[in-house]
Structure 1
Amino acid sequence: MSLNLCVLTPNRIIWDSEVKEIILSTNSGQIGVLPNHIPIVTCVDIGLLKIRLKDRWLTVALIGGFARISNNEITILGNAAEMGIDIDPKEAQEDLEIAEANLSKAEGKRQITEANLARKRARTRMEAVNTISF
């Protein structure tokens, strides 16, 4: 038995195919989803979406959104998302370094909050690159 997973962003469809299992980052922690999971709707955090196919895993860098799970159908509406295999490792590393530098220079509550979010997005992209298939 498998799950139908559809990952959508405002710009494009990232994934629309059957999978065996997913691990999803939510605002209350990671959840694993297998066939016949109970129906839920949840907020998606900035983090990795891990997708298990038959014998391998893929990663997607998800930048927030919502997920609906019901009747072996998973729909994720993401603010932004990138497949780990599509991310340039050098660019991701540079983005992380810039985000960390900006965080160290940030002043005031708003700048610090924005810099922390930028660093979290950059770190998620680096994690997606570093865990392409496990």
Structure 2
Amino acid sequence: MKTMKVSVVTPDGPVHESEVEMVSTKAQSGELGVLPGHIPMVAPLAIGAVRLKNGGKTDFVAVTGGFLEVRPDQVTILAQAAEKAVDIDVDRALRAKERAEQRLNESKQSAIDFKRAELALRRAVNRINVSKGDF
């Protein structure tokens, strides 16, 4: 089967590079699946998992937004933050989730603080789910 190069890059540098048969992820407009030869496109990403399929193996990367750039032979994911499932510190993610939930439950906060806490919670839950392969 044909493959394409995929790169997941953050402002801190590359997180993952490989040859894959398919990339699937969650764009802000919905789920996207990309196969080799796909038409060029750019799409904003939502907080979610990137699934990288090659043969019978699937690797997972948690991303917290960014952009997906597709070319016929290459996919580049420019993420604000990204972590391979195997590298996720689940205990740290669970602590971040608890902190975000506490901030959401505090009654005296501005709309901006609420939104920041809500996004922190979504990022933490995404990392936990990706580490388990559960999404």
TM-score by length of structure 1 reads 0.91
Are 2:90 and 1:89 aligned? yes
Distance 1:64 1:27 in 2: 9
Distance 2:90 2:117 in 1: 21
* Aligned residue number for residue 43 of structure 1: 44
1:72 is displaced (CA, Å) by 2.2
* Aligned residue number for residue 126 of structure 1: 128
Q: Residue type of the partner of 1:117?
A: L
Please give the residue correspondences for 1:100-115 in structure 2 after superposition, counting only pairs within 5 Å. 100-105=101-106, 107-115=109-117
Residue 62 of structure 2: SS of its match in structure 1? strand
**Pairwise CA RMSD of aligned residues?**
1.4
Are 2:21 and 1:20 aligned? yes
Distance 2:32 2:77 in 1: 13
Asked if structure 2 preserves the Cα contact closer than 8 Å seen for 1:48 and 1:59, the reply is: yes
Q: Residue type of the partner of 1:64?
A: G
Alpha-carbon displacement from aligned partner over 1:40-62 (angstroms, at most 9, x marks no partner): 10111111111112211111110
1:111 is displaced (CA, Å) by 1.2
Alpha-carbon displacement from aligned partner over 1:52-111 (angstroms, at most 9, x marks no partner): 122111111101111110112101111110001001222222221221121111622111
Residue 36 of structure 2: SS of its match in structure 1? coil
* Aligned residue number for residue 80 of structure 2: 79
Residue 25 of structure 1: SS of its match in structure 2? strand
Q: Residue type of the partner of 1:54?
A: G
Distance 1:55 1:35 in 2: 17
Residue 119 of structure 2: SS of its match in structure 1? helix
Asked if structure 1 preserves the Cα contact closer than 8 Å seen for 2:96 and 2:120, the reply is: no
Equivalences, count: 132
Q: Which 5+ residue runs of structure 2 have no aligned equivalent?
A: none
Q: Residue type of the partner of 1:81?
A: A
What stretches of structure 1 move > 3 A for 4+ residues in a row? Answer: none
Residue 38 of structure 2: SS of its match in structure 1? coil
